[in-house]
Amino acid sequence: MRSALPVLPAAPAAALPDVADDHTRRAFLADAGRVLAGAGLARYVPWAAALAACARDDARRGAPFRTFTAAEGRTFRAVAAQILPSGDGLPGAEEAGAAHFADRALASFFATRLPGTRAGLAALDARARAVVPNVVSFADLDADRQTAVLREIERDPFFAGVRRLVVIGTFADPSYGGNQGGAGWRLLDVDHRPMYEAPYGWYDAEAARDTTRAPDHAAGAPRPVA
Amino acid sequence: MNAPAQGTPAQRTYREDEAVDFVVVGSGAAGGVLARELACAGHGVVVLEQGPWRGATDFRHDELGIHLLGAYSGGPGDFPQTFRTSEREVARAQQAIWSARGVGGSSVHYTANFWRFRPVDFRERSLLGPIAGTGFADWPITYEELEPYYTKVDWDIGVSGAPGPFDPPRSRPYPVPPLPVKSSGVLLERGAHAVGLHAQPAPMAILSRPHNGRAPCMACGYCMGYGCEFGAKSSTLATMIPEALATGRCELRTESVVHRVETDPAGRATGVVYWDRAGVERQQRARAVVLAGNGAETPRLLFLSASPRHPHGLANGSGMVGTHLMFNGYASAWGAFEHPLNEYKGPQVTRIVHDYYDTDPKRGFYGGGGIDGRFSPGAIEFALGGLPPGAPTWGRGYARAVHELYTRTVEFASHTTSLPLPTNTITLDPTLKDRWGRPAVRVTYTDHPDDLQTMRFLQARTVDMLHAAGATRVWTTPVKPSEGTAHLLGTCRMGDDPRTSVVDRYHRAHEVRNLFICDGSSLVTSGRGQPTMTIQALAFRAADHIARFARAGEV
């Protein structure tokens, strides 16, 4: 088990949009998310993707959270890294930026889940403090204690909801702010490209080499209309 | 008048207050064919489509936006639904129908399995006898009558494939060869052969070679549930609709929500009433009305078009509208293999097994089906719920399982019959409304026991095939009563007897001479789980007859 979250490098300045533009986009995102949530339409708006894409540039792992407080974001990241940990040379939810995906999703198309997520993260921190009295956050626990605490709540709706956010954030299209750098594709062992050519997998490649295999057109001859 | 939506090709426009020859409601699998055929036959056509026009840039490789958030299907606002298992229950709000809203309808996002029905499908009732408690019936038409139109679908819509050992007779070969076989197809062949069954290339409405000026499949992998940015999937958006508009006789109005078919005191249809994109109520007058909204929207529209002359809904003197809903059964078995299959590449299906197509009375229950090799879940769906039973759901073991199994898992899927039951229905929900104020669609459905037996029987065969193909681990999705579908069949069934059917053999409503209904609702029996090929063959045939009636002044 990995004992601590890696220290993240700050995003390079060039990767961040200029401040005024960033501010405008944040305001737009937040306003749109509120309007859609209020109308009960948040999950069903085709341009939700475009809206989320606005956030892509600044959804960097080092960037501040917008919906989560810093403390909530830190706890969420620690849970995410427990759900889909990195290891064996493969990235996990942390490398995919799943927490930053959740930060944006909970302000827009998953807005209805924000209060429950928020309450659950606070409860998790409280649970951590009950285990080790001098810590502030679940994220302060060592990995084994984090695992043990999550075992206690793994059947709770809160855990299922966070797991869902973490999985979606790791494997969804990067335009939503997660799956950063294709980390999710690497975890899936997917060679992510816009199109492919046959052979696609081991078994069809093997079949293509097999000269004794009947060609498709030998499957049967056309029968005339009776 | 609505301005044409962005992206819509240039087109002829019609006045609303002058009767156009035909108004077609719906631009999907059937509506697209009817519009193209009627316009090509020289008639003026207005097509009203409730959803938007989408182009290549709208067809993203985006599981979250399109599968999970329903970008194409609309949500509880656009298309609220309720579900219950019998009329004794109060239906609860629940999505039971997966359909796309937009030009091309569900032909845009379908998987494109294009099996023809077989001669037996049209006369099973005569061959097998009655089944108590069901509306099991012969069709008023035969396979032989429909065969030329199946061939028209092959060539005009664009179907890839090669003949198989159990195929029905065909008058012309496929226009393009089968798509390249995937590992799922190779393993299906291997498993089938080992247990004495026969795999064959899957007929798919996806081009393997250029055809009719369209590009072939680029194997992007975003096929089932997605739109094709290359136009290689033979949706009516890629095929029929552009050809209909190019005649100069067809106008397509998008985001136009039809909520009533108007009739005059003599009982003839005079046009339709709809809300346009801005929410303004409009009326399009027409000499004849053609409904192609498929098996949920079409009966809802008929119910909403009730009048003193048609108190139980238009064309519903028989009480048959909305009844005999058929979902088709679906059962999955899964196998993990030693090497990567990479099923995320390419179209869903490349091989099928049709040895169990026919009902075998020795099995002791009605039903049959086809099997295909595929892998239907996307990455998110697989990671959330696709791992084998007992696999870790979080932590190191979970990450490892996702990494190892996503590329190494295959699904052998069974597609099966549903008996037509009068108690399985589409009706209007008494309380829930959509955002236009219309009653929501209420789905009432319970599989016939034979339907569940058929699913279990075929699933057991697929388990055998997976073991025989060398799977290192095999598991199943338990067969449970169906609570939803993408197939909406039988709710305005075709027949010669006006007391037991809604439309006649030419898709003319028994009670309204100038109202035609042609879509999934027309089907008398369910086939074996891939209805769109037959819906489109029916649409080509219906258009031929409707145009003939128009020429003869019989509309």
Helix, coil or strand: residue A156: coil
- Quick one: closest CA in B to A203, which residue? B183
Most A-contacting residue of B342, B343, B434 (CB-CB within 10 A), to test interface = B342
Strands B92-93 and B81-84: antiparallel
Q: Is the sign of the CA dihedral B26, B274, B8, B51 positive or negative?
A: negative
Collapsing DSSP to helix, strand or coil, A118 comes out as helix
Residue of A164, A200, A209, A210 to mutate, interface with B, max B Cβ within 10 Å: A200
Please tell me the distance from the alpha carbon of residue B386 to that of residue B381, in angstroms, as a whole number. Answer: 7
B63 interaction partners in chain A (CB closer than 8 Å): 171-173
Q: Which residue has the higher pLDDT, A222 or B140?
A: B140
State whether A190 and B403 contact (CB < 8 Å).
Answer: no
Chain A residues close to B174, C-beta within 8 Å:
none
Q: Does A78 touch chain B (CB under 8 A)?
A: no
Give the residue on B whose Cα is nearest the Cα of A185. B379
**pLDDT at A17 exceeding the cut of 50:** no
Do the beta carbons of residue B247 and residue B40 sit within 8 Å?
yes
Contact A198 B64 (CB under 8 A): no
DSSP one-letter code for B319: S
Residue B289, H or E segment: strand B281-291
Q: Would you state the pLDDT for residue A1? A: 34
- Interface mutation vs chain A, best among B64, B228, B380, B408, most A CBs within 10 Å: B64
Of A117, A7, A108, the C-alpha closest to A62 is A7
**Measured on CA atoms in the order B267, B271, B274, B278, is the torsion positive or negative?**
negative
Q: Give the distance from residue B186's alpha carbon to the nearest chain A alpha carbon, in angstroms.
A: 6
Cis peptide leading into residue A12 (ω within 30°): no
CB-based contact B69 A85, cutoff 8 Å? no
What is the rounded CA–CA span in Å between residue A103 and residue A97? 10
Q: Which chain B residue shows the shortest CA-CA distance from A93?
A: B399
Q: What is the pLDDT of residues B319-365, one digit of tens each?
A: 999 999 999 999 999 999 999 999 999 999 999 999 999 999 999 99
Q: Are A91 and A187 in contact, with CB atoms under 8 Å apart?
A: yes
- Of B60, B219, B404, which has the smallest distance from its Cβ to A196's Cβ? B219
Using an 8 Å CB-CB cutoff, list chain B residues near A170: 383
Interface confidence, given as ipTM, is 0.95
Cα–Cα distance measured from residue A32 to residue A45, given in angstroms and rounded to the nearest whole number = 11
Measure the CA–CA gap between B234 and B252, rounded to whole angstroms. 19
Angle between helix A202-209 and helix B183-194 axes, rounded to 10 deg: 70
**pLDDT for position A50:** 43
Which helix or strand (DSSP H or E) is residue B287 part of?
A: strand B281-291
**A11 vs chain B: nearest CA distance in angstroms?**
26
CA dist B396 and B415 (Å) reads 36
Which residue in this structure is represented by tokens 């087109």?
B11
Residues of chain B with C-beta less than 8 angstroms from the C-beta of A225 = 144, 147, 169-171
Looking at the complex, does the CB of residue A180 fall below 8 Å from at least one CB of chain B?
no
Q: Sort out which chain A residues have CB atoms less than 8 A from B219's CB and list them.
A: 195-198, 200
Inspect the interface and report whether the beta carbons of A90 and B69 lie closer than 8 Å. no
Exposure string for A74-92, b = 16+ CB within 10 A, e = fewer = bbbbbbbbbbbbbeeebbb
List the B81-84 sheet strands across, edge first: B92-93, B81-84, B439-444, B425-433
Distance (Å, whole) CA B74 – CA B51: 9
Mutate to test the interface with B, among A82, A203, A213, A225 (most CBs of B within 10 A): A203
Structure-block tokens of residue B354: 């049709």
Distance of CA B190 to the CA centre of its chain: 30
Q: Does A209 reach chain B within 8 Å, measured CB to CB?
A: no
pLDDT on residue A60? 56
Put simply, whether A216 touches B (Cβ < 8 Å) is: yes
3-state secondary structure at position B458: helix
Strand partners of residue B92? B83
Q: Which of A85, A199, A203 faces B396 most closely, judged by CB atoms?
A: A85
- Is a pLDDT exceeding 60 seen at residue A29? no
| pLDDT tens, residue by residue, B7-22 | 778 899 999 999 999 9
User: Which A-chain residues 135-164 have CB contacts (< 8 A) with chain B?
Assistant: 147, 150, 154, 163-164
Q: Which of B171, B182, B402 sits opposite A188 (nearest CB)?
A: B402
List Cα–Cα distances, B448 to A181, B358, B484, B521, in angstroms: 49, 17, 15, 19
Under an 8 A CB cutoff, do A1 and B396 touch? yes
pTM: 0.91
* Other beta carbons within 10 Å of B413: 28
Tell me the nearest-neighbour CA distance from B392 into chain A, angstroms: 10
Rounded CA-CA distance B161/B4 in Å is 37
pLDDT, position A211: 75
**Under an 8 A CB cutoff, do A167 and B384 touch?**
yes
If DSSP states are collapsed to H, E and C, what string results for A163-177? HHHHHHHHHCCHHHC
Interface test with A, best of B198, B200, B345 (most A CBs within 10 A): B345
Spatial CA neighbour of A47 closest among A28, A61, A65, A60: A28
**Does residue B271 have a pLDDT over 90?**
yes
Q: Check B403 against A109: CB less than 8 A apart.
A: no
What values do phi and psi take at B417, rounded to 5?
Answer: -70, 150
**CA B303 to mean position of chain CA atoms:** 21
Residue A120 Cα, gap to closest chain B Cα (Å): 18
**Chain B residues touching residue A219 (CB < 8 angstroms):** 162-165, 200-201
B471: Cα within 13 Å, side-chain hemisphere: 27
Task: Select from B427, B458, B476 the least CA-distant residue to B529.
Answer: B458
Whole-number Å distance between alpha carbons of B31 and B21: 15
Residues ≥6 apart with Cβ < 8 Å to B59? B222, B226, B227, B228, B229
Burial of A212 (0-12, 13-18, 19+ CB in 10 A): exposed
In three-state secondary structure terms, B520 is helix
Cβ-Cβ contacts under 8 Å, A177 against chain B? none
Residue type, B337: F
The DSSP output letter for B245 is H
Q: Name the A residues in 86-125 with CB < 8 Å from any B CB.
A: 86-88, 90, 92, 109
Please check the confidence at residue A39 and state whether its pLDDT lies above 90.
Answer: no
Write the pLDDT tens digit of every residue in B447-489. Answer: 999 999 999 999 999 999 999 999 999 999 999 999 999 999 9
The whole-angstrom distance between residue B469's C-alpha and the CA centroid of its chain comes to 31
Residues B31 and B24 sit within 8 Å (Cβ to Cβ) = yes
* Contact of A84 with B401, CB cutoff 8 Å: no
pLDDT in tens, B158-183: 999 999 999 999 999 999 999 999 99
Cα(A136)–Cα(A72) distance, rounded to whole angstroms?
11
Rounded Cα distance, A147 and A99, in Å? 18
In angstroms, the Cα distances linking A101 to A58, A177, B432 are 11, 5, 34
Beta-ladder partners of B352:
B200, B372
Whole-angstrom Cα distance, residue A82 to residue B415? Answer: 39
Chains A, B: CB pairs < 8 Å:
192
Q: How far is B30 from chain A (nearest CA, A)?
A: 25
Question: Residue B383: closest CA among chain A residues belongs to which residue?
Answer: A167
Which H or E element spans position B296? helix B294-304
Contact state of B218 with A195 under an 8 Å Cβ cutoff: yes
Taking the C-alpha atoms of residue B350 and residue B178, their distance in angstroms, rounded to an integer, is: 8
- CA A163 to each of CA A181, B380, B399: distance values in angstroms, whole numbers, following the listed order: 21, 11, 12
Task: Using the predicted structure, report yes or no on whether residue A220 has a pLDDT greater than 60.
Answer: no
Cβ–Cβ < 8 Å for B51, B254: yes
What per-residue string of b and e applies to B193-231 under the rule 16 or more CB within 10 Å gives b? eeeebbbbbbbbbbbbeebeebebbebbbbbbbbbbbbb
Average pLDDT for residues B412-433, to the nearest whole number?
A: 98
CA distance A70 to chain B (A): 24
Q: What confidence tens digit (pLDDT) does each residue in A83-139 have?
A: 999 999 999 999 999 999 999 999 999 999 999 999 999 999 999 999 999 999 999
Range scoring the smallest mean pLDDT among A54-58, A70-74, B69-73, B136-140? A54-58
Q: Where on the phi/psi map is residue A142: left (φ > 0), alpha (ψ -120 to 50), or beta?
A: beta
Q: CA of B59 to nearest chain A CA: how many angstroms apart?
A: 11
Rounded mean pLDDT of B264-289?
97
Contacts of B406 in chain A (CB under 8 A): 188-190
Core vs surface per residue B264-299: b (16+ CB within 10 A) or e: eeeebbbbbbbbbeeeeebebbbbbbbbbbbbbbbb
Average of per-residue pLDDT values in chain B: 96
Contact between chains at B144 and A204 (C-beta distance less than 8 A): no
**Which residue, chain included where needed, has tokens 């100069």?**
B248
Distance (Å, whole) CA B464 – CA B470: 10
Q: Which residue has the tokens 């827009």?
A: A108
Nearest Cβ partner of B60 from A49, A196, A222? A49
Residue A43 pLDDT greater than 80, yes or no: no
What is the distance in angstroms between the Cα of A222 and the nearest Cα belonging to chain B?
Answer: 6
Please, what is the average pLDDT of chain A? 78
Q: How confident is the model at residue A35 (pLDDT cuts 50, 70, 90)?
A: very low
> B396: which chain A residues are within 8 Å (Cβ-Cβ)?
1, 85, 87
Which A-chain residues 17-36 have CB contacts (< 8 A) with chain B? none
CA distances (Å), origin A186, targets A2, A77, B163, B386, B406: 19, 19, 39, 18, 11
- Mean pLDDT, to the nearest integer, of B254-264? 97
